[in-house]
Amino acid sequence: MFKITFEFHGQLLRLAGAETRTLSFDAPVSLAEALSQLGEDVPELDAMLARCACAIGERLVLRRERLDADCRIALLPPVGGG
Partner 1 sequence: MTTSTDPDRIQSVPLQLDSLLAEDCHPECGGLALFAGTVRDHHDGKPVLRLAYTAYAPLAEKQIREIEQAVAAKYGVPYLRVLHRVGPLSIGEVAIYCVARAPHRAEAFAACKAAVDRVKHEVPIWKEEFYADGTSAFVEGCCIRPDDEEPHRHAAGAYHDHEHHHAR
- What's the CA gap between 60 and 40, in Å, rounded? 23
Whether the Cβ atoms of residue 27 and residue 33 lie closer than 8 Å to each other: no
Binds partner 1 (CB under 8 A): choice among 17, 26, 64, 69: 64
Element at 37 (helix H, strand E)? helix 31-41
- Selected from 63, 66, 68, 70, the binder of partner 1 by CB under 8 A is 63
- Interaction of residue 71 with partner 1, rule CB under 8 A: no
Per CB under 8 A, residues contacting partner 1 are 9-11, 14, 50-55, 57-60, 62-64, 74, 76-82
